[in-house]
Amino acid sequence: ANEDPQNLVKGLIVGKRWRIIDKLGEGGCGSVYKVEDIQTFAKAALKAESNFVKGGSVLKLEVQILKRLEGRKYVTQLFQSAKKKTYSYMVMTLLGRSLNELFKQYPICTVSTQVRVGINILYGLKQLHEVGYIHRDVKPANLAIGRRGQAIHIIHILDFGLSREYVIRNNGSVKLRMPRTNTLFRGTVRYCSANTHTRSEQGRPDDLWSMIYVLVEMRGPLPWNHIRGKDEIGMAKFQTLDTTLCRNSPKELLDIITHLRTLDYYTRPNYFYIYERLHNVMRECNYNDEIFQK
């Protein structure tokens, strides 16, 4: 019974080091537990996935990505990973509340919170893109603040289960993978880019479009909030004017969207320009660095 990844019992010690405290949730491909280090009592998150998953291991991909992201502060960090007889697991940073939970508490955020969250997500995405991956599912549920101390002021990107490597590494050289046509839909309908609805290959700009939708929603409902149906929402994204999308946001968001419109799969986004536009809002309004102030 101890070997069922969906029902690891409280008190069970995994990998001779991590004691199961609580089950935090279940995803499409496994369960997440709150664990503690039996020596230091430090808390962490353990994700367990059955070894008999249809369609191959998602955990393996996540572990691979987290190893590349080692030491970067805007993404989850990996502490340990291993494969047991019936399941595989990885232990990583235990984060605080997700933006999904925070937005329930603060349905309309201030512009200062909006731009600071934007800068954080931008940093995280740039770090991920720099190691050769795109996320493909940027949304409030996959963004979380730290649990305590300074990390509370940092938004971390998590859950790389839908990520894809967009580069090919070959004997030290790195080149972009050729984009496929008519790809499977990957992501979350509400936050994915308009391009994703056309089944085109997602690239770096698509992650940034999702970031924009998350930021816009911090200031009020997205224009497709009441629309049901994937294709209808896709149409709404193509038809909504950029000015309408940004009606409750600072003009700098419009500048960022204008930049995103110049990009395609092959072009590297100008992360510094995007940062600069967001930072400009902070500068003009004299904002400080506290996220989610009352």
For 12-26, what is each residue's pLDDT tens digit?
999 999 999 999 988
Residues 218 and 150 in one domain: yes
Instruction: Say if 290 falls within a structural domain.
Output: no
Q: Of 77, 92, 107, at which residue does a domain stop?
A: 92
Q: What is the mean pLDDT of residues 92-100?
A: 95
Residues 64 and 104 in one domain: no
Helix, strand or coil for residue 92? strand
> How far apart are the C-alpha atoms of 77 and 44, rounded to whole Å?
10
Q: Of 40, 70, 92, at which residue does a domain stop?
A: 92
Q: pLDDT value at position 255?
A: 98
> How far apart are the C-alpha atoms of 210 and 142, rounded to whole Å?
12
- Residue 292 above 60 pLDDT? no
Q: Which residue has the higher pLDDT, 288 or 74?
A: 74
Q: Range with the lowest mean pLDDT among 29-33, 164-168, 213-217?
A: 29-33
Answer whether 197's CB lies under 8 Å from 237's CB. Answer: yes
pLDDT band at 294 (very low <50, low <70, confident <90, very high): very low
Q: pLDDT value at position 12?
A: 94
Q: Where are the beta strands (DSSP E) in 166-258?
A: 167-170, 173-176
Number of domains in the chain: 2
Q: What is the mean pLDDT of residues 159-165?
A: 93
- Per this entry, what is the length of the chain? 294
Clarify whether 255 is annotated catalytic.
no
Task: Work out whether the CA dihedral 234, 238, 241, 247 comes out positive or negative.
Answer: positive
The domain that contains 74 carries what CATH number? 3.30.200.20
Q: Of 92, 108, 139, at which residue does a domain stop?
A: 92
Residues 185 and 260 in one domain: yes
Residues 118 and 259 in one domain: yes
Instruction: Say if 53 falls within a structural domain.
Output: yes
Instruction: Say if 186 falls within a structural domain.
Output: yes
Q: What is the mean pLDDT of residues 237-253?
A: 97
Residues 86 and 161 in one domain: no
Answer whether 45's CB lies under 8 Å from 52's CB. Answer: no
Instruction: Say if 195 falls within a structural domain.
Output: yes
> How far apart are the C-alpha atoms of 280 and 274, rounded to whole Å?
10
Residues 111 and 246 in one domain: yes
Catalytic residue among 22, 137, 159, 231: 137
For 111-121, what is each residue's pLDDT tens digit?
999 999 999 99
Boundaries of domain holding 38: 5-92
The domain that contains 270 carries what CATH number? 1.10.510.10
Instruction: Say if 292 falls within a structural domain.
Output: no
